[in-house]
């Protein structure tokens, strides 16, 4: 079986190389104690995820009060950090927008969805993504980027029983395109809080299982062919910091798993977009289940990841 795997890999390499090859080299997962800034991020991430997954719980259209409470919490938090929060209502929900200004018309969108599937409190999916969004906004609030950075909390990403065009991110991307906004890249922060050092803890759809690690202790930057340059730039910048293991892929759009989050809508609007993720159901055993509770999140790794993402975002927005 091992020999067969090697042969399959080399047979596919000429076709796969441009999709799986990423600049720079990944590193080992840092096991040292968190520094003071990382510790603050860990505390904040715990608070955000506890509020979303425990105090509020399920967050979806069938429970409108929980969505209202979620939007209120996100708005209050972003305003506390000094941002003006703008609501973007659309047919199936309300997105929240806060922006770090710059003189350039070019901008980077960083988004995460705050809704859940019915039956799940959504601690990792996507409380961890929202915690990362809020912390990135806090960490970067006093910086002066060359490009504008827009933080967006998206509604209705799960769009259960609806077409993907019902997603808040799709509606917002279409609005950005209608306004002819100069989005140079978009990150969708999607399920970021689970890391495992056990052998064979990481799965993939074929044929990507031939090219990536079988241990689920890395973060993945996932986009399609049209966003290859944005994926490579993000991975390269992240890897240069040598603080957290990272993999990347820019795959053909026919592989549906690369377009399962809020990056899809921005791609449909013609913008470079990617998903930053722990790979969700390909690693996380509690994905879309009632067991996706706050105790399943690995906060030390999440805090360190957020800090590296902050530095990466600062550099790509320079």
Tens-digit pLDDT profile for residues 239-257: 999 999 999 999 998 888 8
Q: What is the mean pLDDT of residues 124-138?
A: 99
pLDDT at 15: 75
Tens-digit pLDDT profile for residues 284-308: 999 999 999 999 999 999 999 999 9
pLDDT at 12: 66
Q: What is the mean pLDDT of residues 100-114?
A: 97
- Candidates 113, 104, 118; CA nearest to 149 is 104
Residue 184 phi, psi (nearest 5): -90, -15
pLDDT > 80? residue 35:
yes
pLDDT at 274: 98
| Burial (CB count <10 Å: 0-12, 13-18, 19+), residue 8 | middle
Q: CATH homologous superfamily for 2-316?
A: Zn peptidases (3.40.630.10)
The three-state secondary structure class of 281 is helix
Q: Please, which pLDDT band fits residue 16 given cuts at 50, 70 and 90?
A: confident
The upper half-sphere exposure of residue 74, i.e. CA atoms within 13 Å in the direction of its Cβ, equals 35
Contact 153, 194 (CB under 8 A): no
- Candidates 86, 174, 82, 74; CA nearest to 132 is 74
pLDDT > 70? residue 236:
yes
More confidently predicted of 6 and 47? 47
Triad 135, 141, 142: Cα angle to 5°: 135
pLDDT at 13: 67
How far is residue 145 CA from its own chain's centroid? 21
Its pTM surpasses 0.75: yes
Concatenating the DSSP letter of every residue in 55-78 gives: II---STT-HHHHHHHHHHHHHHH
Q: What is the mean pLDDT of residues 166-180?
A: 98
Q: What is the CA radius of gyration of the chain?
A: 18
The three-state secondary structure class of 241 is coil
Q: Please, which pLDDT band fits residue 137 given cuts at 50, 70 and 90?
A: very high
In the chain, the DSSP E strands lie at 86-90, 93-100, 106-113, 148-154, 182-190, 219-224, 246-251, 273-277
pLDDT > 60? residue 1:
no
The domain locations on the chain are 2-316
């Amino acid at each position: 079986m091992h020999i067969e795997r090697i042969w399959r890999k080399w047979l596919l390499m000429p076709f796969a190389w441009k999709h799986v090859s990423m600049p720079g080299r990944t590193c080992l997962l840092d096991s040292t104690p968190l520094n003071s800034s990382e510790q603050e991020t860990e505390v904040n991430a715990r608070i955000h995820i506890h509020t979303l997954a425990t105090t509020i719980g399920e967050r979806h259209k069938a429970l409108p009060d929980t969505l209202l409470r979620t939007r209120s919490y996100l708005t209050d938090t972003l305003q506390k950090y000094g941002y003006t929060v703008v609501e973007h209502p659309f047919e199936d929900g309300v997105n929240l927008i806060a922006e770090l200004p710059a003189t350039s018309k070019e901008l980077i969108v960083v988004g995460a969805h705050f809704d859940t599937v019915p039956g799940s409190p959504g601690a990792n999916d996507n409380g961890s993504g929202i915690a990362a969004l809020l912390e990135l906004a806090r960490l970067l609030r006093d910086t002066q980027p060359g490009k504008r950075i827009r933080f967006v909390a998206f509604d209705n990403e799960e769009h259960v029983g609806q077409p993907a065009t019902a997603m808040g991110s799709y509606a917002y991307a279409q609005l950005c395109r209608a306004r002819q906004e100069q989005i140079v890249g978009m990150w969708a922060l999607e399920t970021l809080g689970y890391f495992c050092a056990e052998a064979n803890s990481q799965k993939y759809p074929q044929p990507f299982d031939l090219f990536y690690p079988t241990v689920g202790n890395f973060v993945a930057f996932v986009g399609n062919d049209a966003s290859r340059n944005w994926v490579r730039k993000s991975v390269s910048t992240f890897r240069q910091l040598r603080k957290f293991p990272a993999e990347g892929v820019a795959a053909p759009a026919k592989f549906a798993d690369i377009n399962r989050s809020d990056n899809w809508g921005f791609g449909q609007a013609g913008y470079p977009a990617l998903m930053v993720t722990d790979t969700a159901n390909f690693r996380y055993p509690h994905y879309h289940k009632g067991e996706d509770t706050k105790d399943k999140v690995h906060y030390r790794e999440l805090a360190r990841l957020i800090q590296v993402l902050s530095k990466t975002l600062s550099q790509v927005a320079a």
